[in-house]
């Protein structure tokens, strides 16, 4: 792909929200990246333009058949004014795996990272600096062909937007109450659970709503066939500390291959804490709890990083984990991973990479 990226700067910069009121995914930066795909030209015309609405034909496939994928990653500004990205290569690799599953054409991963660096450079004054804040980056692809026949679209747009965000939980890292969902499922093996695509989220809303009504913040998803084996928690991967070992559901085709999950596994192994990726049933988990061996549980994902689980409700059997408090290991994982991401702690894994093109100024 021969790309030459053009940059059109905005003539009126937006005012920035106060850093203590960022929320998550509410405010967007001054610019966006966009690139088009057609069968004749492949991916072409990459450009950074002022942040603006996009115009699509009402028959565009994305509205009808959900052929779309997305990614989520963060940029951080360090105390010494560097801009760092956490494992962006992993996000763009996964983007192409999602693309492949949804019959969307592959995107040049290295070019995408370079385009992202250019975009961050243009909007770098949007990266917040207070503790717990970052610049959330949302790359996504939509199918744009105006045609109601069911077939892969012949045209697409790849877009990157960015949002300055506060800590995912404004109140800080506190354990959340989780409802174990026994009726609805988010994905089944052979479906699209492994792909980061809107359809999985649409499928999850009903259960999420039900859990919220009952006073729970998320659901624990069980497998789609038996409603027996643990898959994920909300839109996060899930881990359990049992008898000093850490257990997490093995990737099985319906579980999203989280980059935080992968990194936590690597970190635990680095600390010589045994990690087991396997099939875990909800029954077994409750048995471990009954025997006093279920020590901690937490979810992992880019947005919240680590989200400790304080309570589970499975068919009205409620159990407290670690007395409803954040566990020692959950806290250590959170502090270490966010420390590495913010450039406050050494990065023995080589995860952090430059987020801008040149050293500092544009
Ligand atoms: C994005 C996502 C995750 C977490 O992935 P990260 O790469 O760690 O952010 C987990 N589960 C689902 C369903 C997701 O969409």
pLDDT digits (tens, 9 = 90+) for 167-192: 887 677 889 999 999 999 999 999 99
Mean pLDDT, the chain, whole residue set: 95
Residues 159, 10: one domain? yes
Tell me, what DSSP letter sits at residue 361? -
Residues 151, 195: one domain? no
Distance 108 CA to ligand 1 centre (A): 22
Look up the domain containing 234 and give its range.
176-325
Is 259 a pocket residue for ligand 1 (Cβ < 6 Å)? yes
Residues 165, 180: one domain? no
pTM: 0.96
Residues 115, 39: one domain? yes
What are the pLDDT digits (tens) for 8-57? 999 999 999 999 999 999 999 999 999 999 999 999 999 999 999 999 99
Instruction: Please give the full DSSP string across 99-148, using - where no structure is assigned.
Output: HHHTTPPP--HHHHHHHHHHHHHHTGGGS--STT-EEEEEEEEEE--B--
Is 167 a pocket residue for ligand 1 (Cβ < 6 Å)? no
Residues 147, 10: one domain? yes
Tell me, what DSSP letter sits at residue 106? P
Residues 29, 144: one domain? yes
269 lies in a domain?
yes
Distances (CA, A) of 119 to 124, 164, 274, 288, 332: 8, 14, 40, 48, 33
Residues 250, 187: one domain? yes
Is 235 a pocket residue for ligand 1 (Cβ < 6 Å)? yes
Tell me, what DSSP letter sits at residue 79? T
Residues 183, 155: one domain? no
Is 261 a pocket residue for ligand 1 (Cβ < 6 Å)? yes
**Mean pLDDT confidence for 55-83:** 97
Please provide the distance, in angstroms rounded to a whole number, between the alpha carbons at the two ends of the chain: 26
What are the pLDDT digits (tens) for 302-320? 999 999 999 999 999 999 9
Is 208 a pocket residue for ligand 1 (Cβ < 6 Å)? no
345 lies in a domain?
no
**Which atom belonging to ligand 1 lies closest to the Cα atom of 303?**
9
Phi–psi pair at 230, nearest 5 degrees:
-75, 135
Residues 235, 115: one domain? no
The CATH number given to whatever domain includes residue 55 is 3.30.470.10
Residues 157, 181: one domain? no
Distance 256 CA to ligand 1 centre (A): 6
341 lies in a domain?
no
As for how many domains the chain has, the answer is 2
335 lies in a domain?
no
Residues 136, 196: one domain? no
Residues 47, 163: one domain? yes
**Which atom belonging to ligand 1 lies closest to the Cα atom of 196?**
15
Q: Is 34 exposed, middle or buried (0-12, 13-18, 19+ CB in 10 A)?
A: middle
Task: Give the residue from 141, 130, 126 showing the smallest Cα distance to 356.
Answer: 126
């Amino acid at each position: 792909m021969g790309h030459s990226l053009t940059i059109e700067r905005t003539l009126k910069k937006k005012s920035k929200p106060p850093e203590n009121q960022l929320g998550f995914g509410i405010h967007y930066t001054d610019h966006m990246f966009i690139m088009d795909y057609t069968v004749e030209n492949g991916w072409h015309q990459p450009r950074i333009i002022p942040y603006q609405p996009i115009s699509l034909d009402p028959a565009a496939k994305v509205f009808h058949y959900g052929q779309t994928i997305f990614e989520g990653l963060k940029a951080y500004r360090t105390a010494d004014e560097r801009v760092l990205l956490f494992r962006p290569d992993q996000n763009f690799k996964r983007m192409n795996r999602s693309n492949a599953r949804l019959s969307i054409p592959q995107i040049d991963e290295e070019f995408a990272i370079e385009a992202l660096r250019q975009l961050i450079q243009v909007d770098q004054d949007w990266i917040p600096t207070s503790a717990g804040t970052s610049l959330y980056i949302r790359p996504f692809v939509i199918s744009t062909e105006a045609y109601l026949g069911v077939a892969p679209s012949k045209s697409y747009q790849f877009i990157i937007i960015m949002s300055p965000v506060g800590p995912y939980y404004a109140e800080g890292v506190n354990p959340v109450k989780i409802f174990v969902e026994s009726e609805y499922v988010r994905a089944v093996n052979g479906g699209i659970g492994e792909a980061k695509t809107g359809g999985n989220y649409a499928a999850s809303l009903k259960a999420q709503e039900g859990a919220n009504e009952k006073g729970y913040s998320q659901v624990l998803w069980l497998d789609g066939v038996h409603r027996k084996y643990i898959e994920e928690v909300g839109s996060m991967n899930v881990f359990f500390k049992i008898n000093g070992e850490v257990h997490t559901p093995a990737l099985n085709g319906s579980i999203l291959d989280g980059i935080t999950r992968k990194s936590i596994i690597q970190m635990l192994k680095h600390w010589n804490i045994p990690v087991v990726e396997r099939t875990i049933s909800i029954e077994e988990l409750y048995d471990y709890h009954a025997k006093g061996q279920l020590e901690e549980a937490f979810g992992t994902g880019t947005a919240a990083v680590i989200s400790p689980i304080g309570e589970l409700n499975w068919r009205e059997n409620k159990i407290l984990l670690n007395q409803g408090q954040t566990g020692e290991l959950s806290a250590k994982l959170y502090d270490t991973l966010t420390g590495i991401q913010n450039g406050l702690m050494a990065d023995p894994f080589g995860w952090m990479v430059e987020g801008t093109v040149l050293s500092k100024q544009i």
